[in-house]
């Protein structure tokens, strides 16, 4: 699969999920500035294993994560207590984005399985790929909120 | 009794989304985080529908579904599968599992409600507090026409119903009647002098007591301007003179959401009979069609697996009847029901004039149909 096709697939999957589940219109912007702004941020990740192997991370600030959770479950943001519900919501968002990607890959003869979601929280961290892995970064904005999506992908069988 | 919805998903977020989607409806939503819990809740609560995730720890959706299908108490509960993967292979795999429907994440809540609403009856909270009226409940109709014969004709034509027809010849009398009584529906001539039929409509709509009362206009077929004006003003419908009384009954029933299904759907000897009445106008067949899926699904959910389309009261067949028959048979195939069509020789012959009925299995009486359908499945074709 060409890089350009994969980029379009990731972008369309992310925008589709956020639009359908939350009515958020995400605008794709150049991923030049880092997301980090001193706020704690949360990365939810889901991997895929098959003809293509990789992992997709969704990075958002913790405030945006709470708003996403609130939009999904219908509980006001100020009533969302603790991390558990937010972790679950962000994990589910990553699951849906990668599920969407997986469906298209499967239809194109690149079947794969998904891993369970995982969550990382912190104020200052980054995830680095090893040298054999390709890295694609995407950034989206909606209002004042930002979302960074990172895909690390390792081809199997020469793709 | 409120319908029960069971959502089985390892994601608390999804379970909350499902609960939120049905918050405005009069139903109970139960949750389970995996298949094992789901089976326990299903055994306890006997839900009317299960929304089941595929990928779950401990016991996944496919295994849960298999266990539901192997339990005689639970096998008929309809299941809607949720999946994050929309690929062709996955969709085909789900379809083979024997689910009623499936939904791909991400999904809009409206879509989830619509899909579930196809299987169980969902009512907005508060709506179910109002008793659903039946076609054979008493109703008060007001008929306003300066021609006494029209009032007489309608009164005589509706004498086989418990509906009371109150006739008035002028707008003023009609307004007086409505101030003292609350008619359930009004039928007014559009040819009353000086457009008073239209004035009456406006007065009734302006009054809080009658603003939602169905109001039908009557006119001759050639009075196209009156018909257009009535439609534009918002009349509930227009009836052409000479009045087709079956059409009038159907229109009133529809506007008041009267339950007419009992006239056409009965369970006899464990078989769902879809009974087409003698005077099966297009409006009547349309009525049957509107109830068809809900009533057949309801029967399947209660354990019925056989259906008889009873045309024995009919003297002839037409294309509308054939369409209803095709829809019924297709629904039976979809829901794995065995079926037969009961019809006289003459109706059978007329049906056979339509190529589409070549696979219909006809019998002469309901008893013949019951005998065939009660035989073991291997002995007969569905």
CB proximity under 8 Å: A 45-74 to B: 69, 72-74
**Phi/psi at A133 (5° precision):** -105, 140
Q: How far is CA B315 from CA A59, B197, B278, B324, B359, in A?
A: 71, 39, 7, 16, 21
Selected residue of B7, B105, B107, B110 to mutate for chain A interface (largest A Cβ count, 10 A): B105
Contact B16 A73 (CB under 8 A): yes
Q: Where a domain ends, among B75, B103, B129?
A: B129
Cα separation, A77 vs A70, whole angstroms: 5
Examine the domain organization and report whether B213 and B265 are in the same domain.
no
Cα separation, B67 vs B264, whole angstroms: 36
Long-range contacts of B210-214 (CB under 8 A, 24+ apart): B210/B178, B210/B182, B210/B183, B210/B186, B213/B182, B213/B183, B213/B184, B213/B185, B213/B186, B214/B184, B214/B185, B214/B186, B214/B252, B214/B255, B214/B256
**Measuring CA to CA, which residue among B358, B356, B361, B320 is closest to residue B339?**
B361
Q: Using a CB–CB cutoff of 8 Å, tell me whether A75 touches chain B.
A: yes
Q: What is the pLDDT along chain A (159 residues), one digit of tens a residue?
A: 567 788 999 999 999 999 999 988 899 998 876 665 667 889 999 999 988 899 999 999 999 999 999 999 988 888 888 899 999 999 999 999 999 999 888 888 888 889 989 999 887 777 776 777 888 999 999 888 899 999 999 866 544
Examine the domain organization and report whether B112 and B167 are in the same domain.
no
Examine the domain organization and report whether B205 and B271 are in the same domain.
no
Cα separation, A39 vs A34, whole angstroms: 12
Measured from the Cβ of residue B354, the count of other Cβ atoms closer than 10 Å reads 17
Examine the domain organization and report whether B319 and B227 are in the same domain.
no
Rg of chain A (C-alpha set): 15
Examine the domain organization and report whether B243 and B348 are in the same domain.
no
Examine the domain organization and report whether B191 and B104 are in the same domain.
no
Which 3 state secondary structure label does DSSP give A25? coil
In a domain, B134, yes or no: no
Number of domains in chain B: 3
Contact B84 A95 (CB under 8 A): yes
In a domain, B169, yes or no: yes
In a domain, B135, yes or no: no
Contact B105 A96 (CB under 8 A): yes
Examine the domain organization and report whether B157 and B224 are in the same domain.
yes
Buried b (16+ CB within 10 A) or exposed e, A125-149: eeeeeeeeeeebebbbebeebbbbb
Q: Where a domain ends, among B129, B151, B171?
A: B129
Q: Name residues whose C-beta falls within 8 Å of residue A110's C-beta, 6 or more positions apart in sequence.
A: A1, A50, A51, A52, A159
Q: How far is CA A118 from CA A8, A43, A155, B56, in A?
A: 24, 8, 22, 15
Examine the domain organization and report whether B121 and B150 are in the same domain.
no
Contact A16 B17 (CB under 8 A): no
* pLDDT number for residue B136: 84
Q: Where a domain ends, among B210, B230, B255?
A: B255
Examine the domain organization and report whether B236 and B269 are in the same domain.
no
**Phi/psi at B219 (5° precision):** -160, 170
Residue A78: CATH number of its domain: 3.40.1550.10
Q: Which residue(s) pair with B219 in the sheet?
A: B240
Out of B23, B84, B106, the one facing A16 most closely (by C-beta) is B106
Residues in chain B closer than 8 A to A111 (CB atoms): 87, 89
Cα separation, A57 vs A12, whole angstroms: 15
Domain, as residue range, for B169: 140-255
Q: A108 to chain B: nearest residue by CA?
A: B87
Cα separation, B264 vs B275, whole angstroms: 5
Number of domains in chain A: 1
Q: Chain B closest CA to A89's CA: distance in Å?
A: 5
Q: What is the pLDDT along chain B (382 residues), one digit of tens a residue?
A: 789 999 999 999 999 999 999 998 999 999 999 999 999 999 999 999 999 999 888 898 999 999 999 999 999 899 999 988 777 777 777 777 788 888 888 998 888 998 898 888 888 886 655 567 888 889 999 999 999 999 999 999 999 899 999 999 999 999 999 988 889 999 999 999 999 999 999 988 888 778 889 999 999 999 988 998 898 888 999 999 999 998 898 889 888 888 888 889 999 989 999 999 988 888 788 889 988 998 999 999 889 999 999 999 999 999 999 999 999 999 999 999 999 999 999 999 999 999 989 999 999 999 999 999 988 865 444 4
Q: Using a CB–CB cutoff of 8 Å, tell me whether B93 touches chain A.
A: no
Domain, as residue range, for A91: 3-31+39-155
Residues in chain A closer than 8 A to B83 (CB atoms): 99
Residues in chain A closer than 8 A to B90 (CB atoms): 103, 106
Examine the domain organization and report whether B251 and B285 are in the same domain.
no
Chain centroid, CA B307 distance in Å: 17
* pLDDT number for residue B94: 77
Judge whether B61 and B90 are in contact, CB under 8 Å: no
Long-range contacts of B297-303 (CB under 8 A, 24+ apart): B297/B78, B297/B119, B297/B335, B299/B265, B299/B267, B299/B272, B300/B76, B300/B335, B300/B337, B301/B48, B301/B76, B301/B77, B301/B78, B302/B76, B303/B76
- The burial of B5, by beta-carbon neighbours within 10 Å (0-12 exposed, 13-18 middle, 19 or more buried), is given as buried
Long-range contacts of B196-199 (CB under 8 A, 24+ apart): B196/B170, B196/B171, B197/B144, B197/B171, B198/B229, B198/B230, B198/B233, B199/B171
Q: How far is CA B16 from CA B10, B30, B347, in A?
A: 11, 11, 54
DSSP string, B64-119: HHHHHHT-TTTTTS-EEEEES---HHHHHHHHHHT-SEEEESS--HHHHHHHHHHH
DSSP string, B34-68: SHHHHHHHHHHH--SEEEEESS-SSS-HHHHHHHH
The complex scores an ipTM of: 0.87
DSSP string, B283-329: HHHHHHHHHHHHHHHHHHHTT--EEEEE-TT-S---HHHHHHHHHHH
Examine the domain organization and report whether B249 and B271 are in the same domain.
no
pTM of the prediction?
Answer: 0.54
Contact B106 A111 (CB under 8 A): no
DSSP string, B167-223: EESSHHHHHHHHHHS--SEEEEETTSGGGHHHHHHHHHHHSTTTTTS-EEEEEETT-
Q: Name residues whose C-beta falls within 8 Å of residue B224's C-beta, 6 or more positions apart in sequence.
A: none
Q: Where are the beta strands (DSSP E) in chain A?
A: 27-29, 41-50, 52-61, 112-114, 118-122, 134-142, 145-155
- Between strands A145-155 and B164-168, the pairing is unpaired
**Measuring CA to CA, which residue among A114, A68, A102 is closest to residue A88?**
A68
* pLDDT number for residue A6: 87
Which 3 state secondary structure label does DSSP give B154? helix
Contact A74 B20 (CB under 8 A): yes
Q: Which residue(s) pair with A50 in the sheet?
A: A112
């Amino acid at each position: 699969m060409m890089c350009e096709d994969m980029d379009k697939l990731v972008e369309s999957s992310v925008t589709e999920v956020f639009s359908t589940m939350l009515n958020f219109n995400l605008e794709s912007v150049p991923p030049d500035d880092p997301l980090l702004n001193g706020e704690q941020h949360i990365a939810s990740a889901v991997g895929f294993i098959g003809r293509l192997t990789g992992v997709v991370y969704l990075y958002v600030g913790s405030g945006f994560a709470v708003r996403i959770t609130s939009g999904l479950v219908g509980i006001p943001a100020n009533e969302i207590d603790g991390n558990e519900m937010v972790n679950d919501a962000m994990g589910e968002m990553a699951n849906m984005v990668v599920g969407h990607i997986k469906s298209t890959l499967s239809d194109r003869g690149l079947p794969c399985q998904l891993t369970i979601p995982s969550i990382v929280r912190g104020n200052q961290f980054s995830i680095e790929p090893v040298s054999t892995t390709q890295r694609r970064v995407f950034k989206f904005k909606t209002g004042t909120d930002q979302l960074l999506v990172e895909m690390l992908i390792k081809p199997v069988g020469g793709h | 009794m409120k319908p029960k919805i069971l959502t089985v998903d390892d994601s608390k977020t999804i379970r909350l989304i499902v609960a939120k989607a049905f918050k405005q409806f009069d139903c109970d939503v139960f949750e389970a985080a995996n298949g094992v819990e789901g089976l326990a809740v299903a055994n306890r609560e006997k839900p009317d529908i299960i929304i089941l995730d595929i990928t779950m720890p401990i016991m996944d959706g496919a295994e849960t579904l298999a266990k539901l299908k192997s339990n005689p108490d639970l096998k008929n509960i309809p299941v809607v599968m949720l999946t994050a993967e929309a690929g062709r292979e996955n969709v085909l795999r789900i379809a083979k599992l024997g689910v009623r429907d499936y939904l791909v994440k991400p999904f809009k809540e409206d879509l989830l409600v619509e899909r579930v609403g196809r299987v169980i009856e969902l009512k907005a909270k508060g709506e179910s507090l109002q008793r659903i009226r039946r076609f054979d409940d008493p109703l008060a109709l007001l008929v306003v026409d300066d021609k006494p014969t029209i009032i007489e004709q309608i009164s005589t034509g509706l004498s086989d119903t418990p509906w009371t027809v109150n006739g008035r010849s002028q707008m003023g009398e009609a307004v007086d009647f409505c101030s003292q009584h609350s008619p359930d529906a009004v039928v007014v001539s559009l040819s009353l002098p000086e457009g008073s039929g239209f004035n009456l409509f406006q007065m009734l709509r302006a009054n809080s007591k009658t603003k939602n009362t169905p109001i039908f206009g009557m006119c001759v077929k050639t009075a196209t301007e009156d018909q257009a004006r009535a439609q534009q003003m918002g009349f509930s419908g227009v009836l052409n003179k000479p009045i087709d009384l079956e059409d009038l009954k159907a229109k009133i029933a529809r506007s008041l959401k009267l339950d007419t299904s009992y006239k056409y759907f009965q369970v006899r000897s464990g078989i769902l009979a879809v009974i087409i009445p003698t005077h099966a106008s297009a409006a009547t067949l349309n009525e049957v069609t509107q109830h068809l899926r809900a009533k057949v699904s309801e029967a399947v959910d209660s354990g019925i697996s056989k259906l008889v389309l009873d045309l024995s009261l009919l003297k002839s067949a037409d294309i509308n009847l054939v369409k209803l028959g095709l829809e019924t048979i297709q629904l039976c195939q979809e829901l794995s029901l065995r079926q037969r069509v009961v019809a006289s020789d003459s109706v059978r012959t007329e049906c056979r004039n339509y190529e589409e009925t070549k696979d219909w299995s006809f019998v002469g009486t309901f008893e013949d149909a019951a005998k065939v359908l009660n035989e073991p499945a291997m002995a007969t074709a569905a």
